[in-house]
Amino acid sequence: MAEFIRLTHAVAVAEWALHLSNNWRPRLPAPPRRGPKIVYRDSTIMVIAVVQVAWQLGYEEVTDYFRSQTLAAQAAGLPPGRRISASQYWERRQALGVLPFWFFFVLMVGQLLRLGVIYGTDVILDGTTLQAWFHHDPEAGWSFPKPWKGSTWGYKVHTVLCRWSQLPMMFLVTPANHQELVIAIPLLSLMVLCFGFTIQLVRADAGYFTFPIMTFIRRVLGASFVIDYNLRRKGKRFLATLFFIDQWRFHLRPRTIIERHFAWAKRYFGLESAQWQGLVAAYQHTALVYSVMLGVALVAHRYQRPDLAGSRTMVLALKTIN
């Protein structure tokens, strides 16, 4: 665990993410505080949260681990001889909000970008629903994707995926009743503004087959698009020719990568297994899960094992990581 923190530069990335979030959202100085001083830095809280999601531990389990493992505690920035309690860790993590964890994810993407793992030229756009743990969650929404799939009460994660590395490059979280086509343009714009990618090709399903999205991709981004279309819609029956069907089958094959990504993230990285409530908690958990996915790929490439870039169990099970 200490080696994982060191190889991903988790402490430095957390400090820089906090610095960016403070500059993005200026706050008044904290009032004078009575009682004992705060001895645990916010960056340490973020690193503990990353470790908690990476090893899929509970609040008490992760604090007990850092209490018993001195090397991991030093790597996370805990003061010598001091160990944070589970209740204090939970309160401090909730108080951090969304921006520090979102910037942490962005900086993890930047590390892989500098290593040449992520390209950002051929991207895939899609979203997936996350079922809410609490039925009375006031910020969740209903999603009715298809009649045979049923409804979902929860949130939706809108993701831009790199086709070649199969890693997330940008994401946004909304209630489940928000359609993907409303978030597509802000999502692509945010990715270009953060990383300066020169997108060449955008792949998406039929939900993104709208003229505003295609016009934005073509004229603003200067990219091409391969977007699925529904032949049953009125005015698109002329596309039902043998030529267009062959082109559709050939160019849309890579789009299924993002479906496997969502299944992989939910099954092996715990994207849908957390017991949280509210949009802020959904953003935090999604940013941590995606950061762990990027961290696993980062460790695999630094150990010159790119074949393990998508395997959380194999990378975290290495003797040099534990």
Over residues 161-196, the pLDDT tens digits come to 999 999 999 999 999 888 888 899 999 999 999 999
Do both 201 and 223 map to the same domain? yes
% residues pLDDT > 90 (the chain): 46
Do both 21 and 136 map to the same domain? no
The pLDDT tens digits for 193-239 are: 999 989 999 999 888 888 899 999 999 999 998 887 765 554 555 55
Residue 180: its pLDDT value, please?
82
Whether 224 is covered by a domain: the verdict is: yes
How many domains does the chain fold into? 2
CB proximity list for 294: less than 8 A, separation 6 or greater? 105, 108, 109, 111, 112, 167, 168
Sign, CA dihedral 37-39-45-48, equals negative
pTM: 0.89
Whether 296 is covered by a domain: the verdict is: no
* Residue 57 in this model has a pLDDT that exceeds 60: yes
Do both 74 and 107 map to the same domain? no
Do both 111 and 92 map to the same domain? no
Q: Whole domain around residue 7: which residue ranges?
A: 1-96
Whether 316 is covered by a domain: the verdict is: no
Do both 33 and 109 map to the same domain? no
Highest-scoring range by mean pLDDT, 34-43, 129-138, 276-285: 276-285
Last residue of a domain, one of 76, 96, 116: 96
CATH number at residue 155: 3.30.420
The pLDDT tens digits for 271-303 are: 987 778 889 999 999 999 999 999 999 999 988
* Residue 87 in this model has a pLDDT that exceeds 60: yes
Which tokens in the block code for residue 248?
A: 């559709």
Do both 123 and 255 map to the same domain? yes
Residue 183: its pLDDT value, please?
92
